Structure 1
Amino acid sequence: MDSSNQSSQPSNSNHLFDELRWVIQIRRHLEESTEDDHDIPVTIFSVPKALRVSKPEAFVPQLIALGPYHHWQPELYEMERYKLSAAKRAQKQLHGQKFQQVVEHFIKLEHITHAHYHRYLDFNGETLAWMMIVDTSFLLEFLQSYAPEEGKVLRRVPSRMSHLVDKAGRKSAHNMILRDIMMLENQVPLFLLRVCLEFQCSSLQEADDVLTLMLNGFMRALCPFKMMQNFLCIDVTRHAHLLELLYYILVPKPEEQNCEVIDIHEDQNDAGGSIDQTNNDDSSHIKQFFNASWTAASGLNGSVIQYIKQVLFSKPIKFLVKVPWKIITSLPVFSVLKKPVEYLFFSETSANSKTENSSSNQNISKQPLIEEIMIPSVRELVNAGISFSATKGDMTTIQFDLKTVTLYLPTVKLDNNTEVILRNLVAYESSLASGPLVFTRYTELMNGIIDTDEDVKLLRERGIILNKMKSDGEVAKLWNSMSRSVRLTRVPFLDKVIEDVNKYYSSRWRVKTTKFMKKYVFGSWQFLTFLAAILLLLLTSLQAFCSVYSCARWFNPAIIGQ
């Protein structure tokens, strides 16, 4: 009994200590944090579980921890001595000021630092300040390797870190640090980098200029898209951290617009997959028939066109076509042909009429479905006559030109670091409070058009993909393993591109014939039975005819002799 009581006392005391510590922290936070931080948005989030579960190593730092989220992980503590060395070198650049002054300034900014993080930071002010200044010193030293060799340049990378930092990316440690730096949970607020540089420079403006040079060089080397014009307008005061900066370089901030955001549920996978086509009455198909006839005759002269149009759309002609069609399709045998004929000849015009009849307000209010991002592969699109062309720009350069039948996509560079960057950009975009998921929809578009290494090869030959990975198969695996976001929104310009591509692809006779054969010939026992019955009837008729009349004069005598 005594031993059990003694063993329970430490646990009770620890529990009491934790409660007292919590009360002290809450009291201090409420008493000291009088500054208003409501205008500071949260920008450093925890990765949603739905994204993390697909590939955890893409979101958890593997070599170095920056910021408070992963600071105490023992497997990352080996890099602490390199961070301390960077802090010592930064201390020598303070122009006679003491390092303690920088720490005290960081303590004053504690409430701003807390405001940037989504999680509650269980650190006192001085601990957080020392942690952030050490991490900031290392991050600045790493970014200095990307500063251009012109004007006033900060010191070069010291020999102690020469085996870690390599701008050319030939060293694996450099790439590991690069991937860790761009992870969402490993971000450091940029305003802390400005504060550190302000102590090293003569003014805040000079600190901003130096930081801008470093970030320009870093983003040029890191950005997966080959775009140069957007890097010239980097404003370090407008961005919270490196990942956010890269995101808004790739996805410029859109104007305020209404967008619908919904949560993705498992039962939505089959939603909207089947559309009931049988509700269309026969008169609509008759109208579509005349529209198709009118389109075929569009090459004629204007007077002839007007005359033909009046004749085709006259009530007697409509009646003459409508009545036989109703009679034929009402017969038990020929009713089997109704759906195949309507699918083969009226599917395109039916889709066009639906598009014309639906207003823009209805399109906005309609729920975005997962099936709407489905799109044929690159090989299928090329076989259907669609060309691909590369652009040097951001997301807004994605478009489909119906006149030239060309799909324009930005050039993307893929290497060993790209997957981590893409996944964390998707995670950051998914964590934002609102707004359309433009970058996520782009990854879903690439996931849709790339199925095999042959698709990657076609895009690589057209300059859309710059492959620095092992093979085209690795690139296909990268895009196909990209997970969906936790929510789905409408992205008007991308939705329009996907819709136009699908509409053009579905309108090709080669595609329609293939789908027709799969759906109504090989996949319909009723249609196969009908064809077998017709064939049997023809053979029976031929046999009866040949039994009455001699068929030798219609067939090769040599064949008959055999």
Structure 2
Amino acid sequence: MSPLQTNLSCGTSFDFDELQWVANIRRTIEADQLEDDSEISGCIFSVPKPLMSNHPDSYTPHQLSLGPYHYSRLELHEMDRYKLSAAKRCQKLLQGLKFQDLVEQLMKLEFKIRACYSKYLNINGQTLAWMMAIDASFLIEYLQVSALSDPEMLSKVPSGMSHLFDYFRRKSIHDAILRDIVMLENQIPLFILRKVLEFQLLSLESAEEMLYSMLRGSCKELSPFKTVESSSGVKVSDHAHLLDFLYNIIVPKVEESLEIPEEVKDDSKASQDNEESSVDSNYIKQPLIEIWKILLNQKIGPASFLNKLLKSAPCEVIIKLPWKTFLNLLGFGTVNQPNASSESQSFGSSFHQPLLVEEITIPSVSQLSKCGVRFVPTNGSISTINFDKKTCTLYLPRISLDVNSDVVLRNLVAYEASNSSGPMVFTRYTELMNGIIDSAEDAKMLREKGIILSHSTNDEEVANMWNGMSRSIRLTKVPFLDTVIQDVNNYHDGQFKVKVEMFMKLYVFGSWKFLTLVAAILLLLITSLQAFCSVYDCVRLFHFQ
């Protein structure tokens, strides 16, 4: 999206200023850097409405506003005094320059800054430059404080930051600010942070190195996976903002795979289900038919009596009655094809409905454990997920959950949904965890195995977090995760006790209305036969010897 397109695009209504609009258009067209900036696309997005409506508190800052999306919220202005203090300390580090010089330098990057935001920014260029300079000064100081656990950063922290360390390292305040700076709508471009550090250090290389160390230290604290992907050779310029940096060191690179349209997926799945259901039905019906034929060939006994009874005139009249019409009138028109989608969803892919957007279909941890599946933690990220068919072992990465994890995970999903054009790897991972964790018991089992490391949340809260986590924007295919899901389902469905359970649910519990009707009809027929035989001599009437 070009700067001109960014300035003209508007998702919400605003007071239209004709003179300001003309001035912006003129400056945009006459800008010398327009040709370079035209290649910049939006990287700081608004949270998609389906995600925002599902859990708005995870995407709306509560303490700190960074950037233009939430700057007008009065309840966030309490942090302005800390921002101004950070700006004053930044001015002392500008090597004889004034803070105004930094602002003027950022004003030259106005169109590049605007192009980074996908939503229309109804503020003038000078206001935007001052906002970025002040917010960047504060964020740099906070990232330095947050990264103090990194030994490499101890020697690079300014001496005047001891009061910030005492304030920001308070647990409640630190967690609240940490949650706010990781939110998708609260991001500012990293090239602005690099520009501020360049003014302070008078070296682009030193600014790049220092910013990279700060981001690495902060992301180690933010990342739920304590072992992140290797980022050797990665530059700050390769990333758009803090959340993008965190996403790229967590999520492995996966080659894009073609997505299957939902309609085609539904049709193929439905046809597969029908074929498998008919095969399973034939396995049950065929032996019963053979046994019935053997009984009918007998000359004596109950089978002979039933054979003659069925060939009698009263029974022929009963059999020829329009039973299909009666069943339709009673609401049992489709009883011969029971629908047990909701009841058999967790009992194997043979009876699965097409995949839902909200949750994939996979047995829970407790169900898999009953079938002999072992759960083993790995010291890696999402790329280490694997299912070993020989040992029936599901390998899952260790994930550390705290009070910030819910916000971090949700905003990573929101960023991936807004920015990714390929496979949504992280979203698929959250769907996998959502699928295998159905209750506190499942969360407890994973915690005991060392896969979930929960420091400040109980098992019930962990289960609720995962069950409310994923509300995907679109369906996607992630080859290595889809293979794991399919292998787990195939192993689970192949167990004998699972097959018996599936059969009982589908053909017994799923058909209870039909079986109740059949039992009532049989009871009526037997009662009628008993009354008939009490009046007439059945032995003489049917010529039994």
Do both share a fold (TM > 0.5)? yes
For 2:377, what is the secondary structure of its paired residue? strand
Task: Give the aligned partner of residue 458 of structure 2.
Answer: 471
Residues 182 and 408, structure 2, Cα contact 8 Å, conserved in 1: yes
AA partner of residue 365 (structure 2): V
Aligned counterpart, 1:248: 248
**Does 2:421 match 1:434?**
yes
**1:299-341, CA deviations, whole angstroms, 9 ceiling, x for partnerless residues?**
xxxxxxxxxxxxxxxxxxxxx999959979xx999xxxx999x
Q: Output aligned runs, 1:381-530, within 5 Å.
A: 381-432=368-419, 434-525=421-512
Question: Contact 2:427–2:470 at 8 Å: present in 1 too?
Answer: no
What is residue 71 of structure 1 aligned with on the other side? 71
Distance 1:516 1:120, change over 3 A: same
Give the structure 2 partner of residue 161 of structure 1: 164
Q: Which of residues 143, 148, 151 in structure 2 aligns to 1:149?
A: 151
Which deviations, in whole Å up to 9, do the C-alpha atoms of 1:214-248 show, x marking residues without a partner?
11211111110121552555421210101011111
Deviations 1:317-371 (A, max 9, x none): xxx999959979xx999xxxx999xxxxxxxxx989x9xxxxxxxxxxxx97549
Aligned counterpart, 2:139: 139
SS at match of 2:238: coil
**Cα shift at 1:28:** 2.7
For residue 211 of structure 2, what is the aligned residue in structure 1? 211
Query: Structure 2 counterpart of 1:413, which letter?
Result: S
- Structure 1 residue 177 and structure 2 residue 181: aligned? no
The answer to whether the Cα contact below 8 Å between 2:440 and 2:462 also exists between their aligned partners in 1 is yes
Q: Give the CA deviation at 1:110.
A: 1.5
Q: Tell whether 2:198 aligns with 1:198.
A: yes
Q: 1: CA distance between counterparts of 2:401 and 2:186?
A: 22
**Alignment partners' CA distance in 2, 1:495 and 1:325:** 43
Shift of 1:376: 1.2
Distance 2:494 2:432 in 1: 20
* Distance 1:225-1:120 versus aligned 2 partners, 3 A rule: same
Q: Which amino acid aligns with 2:43?
A: T
Which ranges of structure 1 fall in alignment gaps of 5 or more residues?
Answer: 1-14, 290-319, 341-349, 355-366, 538-562
CA contact (8 A) 2:212 2:235 kept: yes
Contact 1:273/1:371 (<8 A) preserved: no
TM-superposition CA deviations, 1:45-97 (whole Å, max 9, x none): 01111110011111111111001111111111111110010010011111222
Question: Which deviates more, 414-423 or 122-131?
Answer: 122-131
In structure 2, the residue matched to 1:85 is 85
Change in CA separation of 1:450 and 1:157 when aligned onto 2, cut-off 3 Å: farther
Residue aligned with 2:453, SS: strand
| CA 1:373–1:165: 2 relative to 1, 3 Å | same
Given that 2:197 and 2:207 are in contact with CA atoms closer than 8 Å, whether structure 1 keeps it comes out as yes
Report the Cα distance in structure 2 between the residues aligned to 1:280 and 1:74, rounded to whole angstroms: 61
Amino acid at match of 2:507: Y
Instruction: Tell me which residue corresponds to 2:123.
Output: 123
Asked if the contact 1:143–1:218 (Cα under 8 Å) also holds between the matched residues in 2, the reply is: yes
TM-score of the two chains, using structure 1 as the length reference: 0.73
Cα deviation code 1:89-109 (max 9, x no counterpart): 011111222222212211111
Structure 1 56/229 Cα, relative in aligned 2: closer, same or farther at 3 Å?
closer
Q: Indicate conservation of the 8 Å contact 1:44/1:116, yes or no.
A: yes
Q: How many residues align?
A: 456
What is the distance in 2 between the residues matched to 1:418 and 1:479? Answer: 11
Q: Mark the CA change 1:351 to 1:410 in structure 2 (over 3 Å): closer, same or farther.
A: closer
Are the aligned partners of 2:168 and 2:174 in contact in 1 as well (CA < 8 Å)? yes
- C-alpha contact (below 8 Å) 2:190/2:240 kept by paired residues: yes
Distance 1:85 1:217 in 2: 23
Q: Does 1:39 align with 2:44?
A: no
Q: What residue number does 2:341 align with?
A: none
CA distance in 2, matches of 1:142, 1:463: 32
- C-alpha distance in structure 2 between counterparts of 1:436 and 1:153, whole Å: 39
Amino acid across the alignment from 1:27:
R
Per the alignment, do residues 323 and 32 of structure 1 end up closer, same or farther by CA in structure 2, a change over 3 Å counting? Answer: same
Q: Which amino acid aligns with 1:97?
A: L
Match of 1:19 in 2: 18
Letter in 1 for 2:23: I
1:213 is paired with a residue whose SS is: helix
- What are the Cα deviations for residues 184-213 of structure 1, in whole angstroms up to 9, with x where unaligned? 000011111111111111421111111121
Return the offset for 1:183.
0.4
Root-mean-square deviation (CA), in Å?
Answer: 3.8
SS class of match (1:413): strand
Please state how far the C-alpha of 1:274 moved relative to its aligned partner.
5.4
Distance change (3 Å), C-alpha of 1:472 and 1:499: same
1:484-519 CA deviation, whole Å, 9 max, x = no partner?
Answer: 121111111111111111111111111111222222
Distance 1:453 1:231, change over 3 A: farther
Instruction: Give the secondary structure class of the aligned counterpart of 1:408.
Output: strand
Per-residue deviation at 1:268?
12
Q: SS at the partner of 1:409?
A: strand
SS of 1:176's partner is helix
2:6 matched to which residue of 1? none
Q: 1:110 to 1:379 in 2, by over 3 A?
A: same
Distance 2:260 2:88 in 1: 48
Counterpart secondary structure, 2:410: helix
- With over 3 angstroms needed to count, the CA separation of the structure-2 counterparts of 1:104 and 1:42, relative to structure 1, is same
2:375 aligns to what SS in structure 1? strand
Q: What whole-Å deviation, never above 9, does each CA across 1:446-476 have from its counterpart, x for those lacking one?
A: 1111111111110001111000223111111
Q: Tell me, yes or no, if the aligned pair for 1:261 and 1:436 is still in contact at 8 Å.
A: no
Question: Which position in structure 2 is the counterpart of 1:8?
Answer: none
The equivalent residue for 2:313 is none
Q: Please give the per-residue CA displacement for 1:112-145, whole angstroms capped at 9, x wherever unaligned.
A: 2112110122222222111101000000000112
Residue 27 of structure 1: how far off its partner (Å):
2.9
- How many angstroms apart in 2 are the aligned matches of 1:473 and 1:19? 56
Query: Which position in structure 2 is the counterpart of 1:313?
Result: none
Between the aligned partners of 2:152 and 2:15, the Cα distance in structure 1 is: 59
What is the TM-score of this pair, normalised by structure 2?
Answer: 0.75
User: Counterpart of 1:30 in 2: which secondary structure?
Assistant: helix
**Which residue of structure 2 lines up, in the alignment, with residue 373 of structure 1?**
360
Which amino acid in 2 is paired with 1:491? V
In the alignment, the residues of structure 1 paired with residue 455 and residue 135 of structure 2 have an alpha-carbon distance, to the nearest angstrom, of 31
Cα distance in 1 for residues equivalent to 2:439 and 2:15: 59
d(CA) in 2 for partners of 1:100, 1:280? 73
2:96 match: secondary structure: coil
* Distance in 2 (alpha carbons) for counterparts of 1:281 and 1:431: 39
Aligned partners of 1:205, 1:55: CA distance in 2, in Å? Answer: 41
Asked if the contact 2:357/2:472 (under 8 Å) is kept, the reply is: no
